[in-house]
Amino acid sequence: MTETADLVSEIETFEEKLALASESITKRFIGQTRVVDLTLTSLLCGGHGLLIGLPGLGKTRLVETLSTVMGLNGKRVQFTPDLMPADILGSEVLEADPDGRRAFRFLEGPIFCQLLMADEINRASPRTQSALLQAMQEREVSIGGETRPLPAPFHVLATQNPIDQEGTYPLPEAQLDRFLVQINVQYPDRDTEKAILLATTGASEEASRQVFTAEELIGAQQLLRRMPVGDSVVEMILDLVRAFRPEDPTALSEVVQDVSWGPGPRAAQALMLAVRAEAMLNGRLAPSAEDVASMADPVLRHRMQLTFAARARGQRIEDVIAKGVAQITGHEAAA
């Protein structure tokens, strides 16, 4: 009983800090509450986020603000076609000491940080993109025959421009699967855009403040995994993920017809963590069916692929997910 009371107290404490963090972020990233929540979700779950949106919507500003509020050492890499893996990971250089003796010294690349912004990640070649694979999954990199651990916590927030495809290299499925959530950044509504204009074109701007430390974020990540999940929610997550695999006997008819491949076990793991984060961000002590419906789309949409025929008919993966979520959870999916 005492253990349960302590867990409840810890969750409530972190819920209060998360509310303060969200408030501080939205002072500089105005009006996009859903985007902020999904970005915080990726950090709470110990995962990575893929932000997709047009230029000028504040994606870089969001990541910079997040770094300040969460107390993380953040760095930014602008991905370009001529970027090499060593530009991200680092390299060994030959140096001579005053006595003339030579030795190799490793110079750390920008990936040795706690929050890496990979700006326009699809502009880099597949060779350079793959340099992130080991780091994102294993939190370490292998260079010169030696494995070097990355700082803890370690998170990647990558951005993509959805319309400018000239000179780009689409991320392969294996790398997309490493991102816990795909976060679509949309145009703001009129009132929000007016607030942005007034807040960012004056003599001074609202400043964000640090709410978390890196150690507190690690504590929140560990606490998240201790949050209880009811059997009905666990079964719902399994039903949902398996219903989107076209070869599964329980697959939905729309999935069999329109989906070429569906989400794997990593998607179920991501959804299990994401629903806990959604509950924590909304001040609840355990996730519900509504949380499953809310997190299904951002967790699953980059882990599924429509058939060519479905794309030719104008079908969207979001529509397929929405139908499945409504059937299985009884709630509407959130974008």
pLDDT-above-70 percentage for the chain:
97
pLDDT at res. 266: 93
* Mean pLDDT, rounded, for 154-182: 82
Domain boundaries, the chain: 2-200+207-215, 229-329
pLDDT tens per residue, range 220-240? 999 999 999 999 999 999 999
pLDDT band for 195, please (50, 70, 90 cuts).
Answer: confident
Token pair, residue 267, equals: 């998607």
Does the pLDDT value for residue 98 go beyond 80? Answer: no
153-157, 189-193, 237-241: segment of lowest average pLDDT = 189-193
Q: What is the pTM of this model?
A: 0.89
Q: Find where tokens 């080991």 sit.
A: 134
Most confident of 115-124, 130-139, 267-276: 267-276
Task: CATH number for 229-329: choose from 3.40.50.1970, 3.40.190.170, 3.40.190.10, 1.10.8.80.
Answer: 1.10.8.80
pLDDT band for 42, please (50, 70, 90 cuts).
Answer: very high
**Domain 2-200+207-215 bears CATH identifier 1.10.540.10:** no
Does the pLDDT value for residue 166 go beyond 60? Answer: no
pLDDT at res. 149: 92
Closest to 70 in 3D by CA, of 84, 49, 55, 89: 49
